[in-house]
Amino acid sequence: MSGERSTARTTLARAGEGLPTGRSVGLAIGALFWAWLVVRWVTIWAGYSEPFFPVAFFEGLATGFENDALVMQQNTGALAPVLDFVAGFWFLFSDVASFVAFAVEYLPTLAEGAWLTVVLTVAGIAFGLVIAVPLSVARVYGGVVTRSLALVYIELIRGTPLLAQLFVIYYGLNMSQYFRGVSSGLLPTTAVWVAIVGFTINSAAYQAEYIRSALESVESGQLTAARAIGLSRIDGIRHVVLPQGLRYAIPGWTNELVYLIKYSSLAAFITVVELFESGRDIAGQTFQYLNIYALLALFYLALVLSATLFMGWVEDRVAIPGLGVRDGRE
């Protein structure tokens, strides 16, 4: 693949292929993860938030291993060096078991946080796209005024930190007040709505850039040919340039999706309890920082790798012979 934009995608995509049988193993793990996550969400909505697996069992395992190891270490006979060696492994098993016990206990909370992470990501990219398409078309095909307006928007948003943007709309403009009406009951809290607005505004600018460069890589002869059979400019862009350009933009989208999954964590600072914030809450209660951050890392890794695999699948699905595999496109 070409261009820096697509690098994240290709490397991550290759993560699945790196190991010889890695791809199928990866897919199986991914499928299990999502199956569990979806079932977990459904049970939580249905009012059941207890762990699916017995925490006490793994805790028991952990203490069992640890006690055994301590006993082994106390042996002073001829076998002492061997037992000491084995004890080392038993301590390791004990650690693993207590990590699993910890994970089992707090997975429901993290799953709840992951729900909001997914919601913010999907909403951000979808609403962002709705704005990004006209923005990028204005940027490429617009007149002086629309082109400059689009350029200013895109550059201002891309030139400032997302965190500052979230603070401006949440604390500065107090945007939550507009969402009071749509945040009761099962609906998300007002902060979630504001975060969605923030990610939409932000993502629109980045997506517009990806789509712009994709549109520019569609040969100009395509629009000329569309005009030559009598299509208007707008129709030519809509039926000929966009269908090709949007395919070229898929690697950019993969990046954008990965970006949103990760940066949705910043919603934590405007009080949204998404994945990172729910992890922070757990850390605050348990002080088990290492465990919780390991879990968070695994969660994000799973989300990001699934997004990458999914986009690869989308790219294959909409692939057209001879399109999007051209070299030298940037």
Partner 1 sequence: MVLSLASPPALDAVDWVALAQFESGDWAFVREQLPYLARGFVVTLLLTLTSIVLGFLAGFPMGAIEVYGRGPLRSFVYGAGVVLRAIPIVVILVFMFFVAPIPLPGGQFAFDVPRVGSVSFGRSAFLAATVGLGLRSAAYQAQIFRGALQSVSGGQMEAARSVGMSRLQGIRHVVLPQALRRSIPGFQNEFTIVLKDTSIAFAIGLTELFARADNLFTQRTTATLELFLFISLVYFIMTFVTNRSLDYLGDYYAIPGGDR
Partner 2 sequence: MSDQHSGTADGTDTSAATASGTEASDTDTASADAATAGAASQPLLRVEDLQKSYGDETVLRGISFDLDKRDVEVIIGPSGSGKSTMLRCVNRLTEFQGGAIYLDGESVMAMNDNDLRRRVGMVFQDINLFAHLTALQNVTLGLRKVRGMGKEAAREKAMDQLDRVGLASQADSYPAELSGGQKQRVGIARALAMDPELLLFDEPTSALDPELVGEVLEVMRDLAEGGMTMLVVTHEMGFARRAASSLMFLDEGRIVERGPPEQLFDDPEHDRTAEFLQRLTTISEEV
CA neighbor of 283 nearest in space, from 109, 57, 23:
109
b/e 129-142 (16+ beta carbons within 10 angstroms → b): bebbbebbbbbbbb
DSSP secondary structure code for residue 60 in this structure: H
CA–CA dist 21, 255 (Å, integer): 25
DSSP string, 73-96: HH--STTHHHHHHHHHHHHHHHHH
CA–CA dist 175, 185 (Å, integer): 20
Cβ 239 to partner 2, closest distance in Å?
6
Taking the least distance from each CB to partner 2, the nearer of 180 and 239 is 239
Cβ 227 to partner 2, closest distance in Å?
6
Contacted entry of partner 2, partner 1, none for residue 296, CB cut-off 5 to 8 Å set by kind: partner 1
CB 109 within 8 A of CB 40: no
List C-alpha distances in Å: 324 to 207, 215, 311, 330. Answer: 18, 12, 14, 11
Site residues, partner 1 (CB under 8 A): 2-4, 7-8, 11-12, 15, 18, 155-156, 158-165, 167-168, 171-173, 258, 262-263, 265-266, 268-269, 276, 279-280, 289-290, 293, 296-297, 300-301, 304-305
CA–CA dist 267, 23 (Å, integer): 33
Cβ 209 to partner 2, closest distance in Å?
22
Taking the least distance from each CB to partner 1, the nearer of 2 and 232 is 2
For the record, the structure tokens of 234 come out as 């707008």
Contacted entry of partner 2, partner 1, none for residue 225, CB cut-off 5 to 8 Å set by kind: partner 2
Cα-based angle 180, 185, 190 (whole degrees, multiple of 5): 30
Cβ 7 to partner 1, closest distance in Å?
4
Cβ 47 to partner 1, closest distance in Å?
30
Site residues, partner 2 (CB under 8 A): 219, 221-222, 224-232, 235, 239-240, 243-244, 247, 320-323
Contacted entry of partner 1, partner 2, none for residue 171, CB cut-off 5 to 8 Å set by kind: partner 1
Taking the least distance from each CB to partner 2, the nearer of 18 and 243 is 243
Taking the least distance from each CB to partner 2, the nearer of 43 and 222 is 222
CA neighbor of 242 nearest in space, from 312, 310, 323:
323
Contacted entry of partner 2, partner 1, none for residue 222, CB cut-off 5 to 8 Å set by kind: partner 2
Taking the least distance from each CB to partner 1, the nearer of 15 and 131 is 15
Residue 173: φ, ψ to 5° = -95, -5
Looking from the CA of 196 toward its CB, the CA atoms found within 13 Å total 16
Taking the least distance from each CB to partner 1, the nearer of 155 and 219 is 155
DSSP secondary structure code for residue 241 in this structure: I
Cβ 191 to partner 1, closest distance in Å?
15
Cβ 215 to partner 2, closest distance in Å?
13
Which residues lie closer than 8 Å to 85 by C-beta, 6 or more apart? Answer: none
Contacted entry of partner 2, partner 1, none for residue 258, CB cut-off 5 to 8 Å set by kind: partner 1
Taking the least distance from each CB to partner 1, the nearer of 56 and 173 is 173
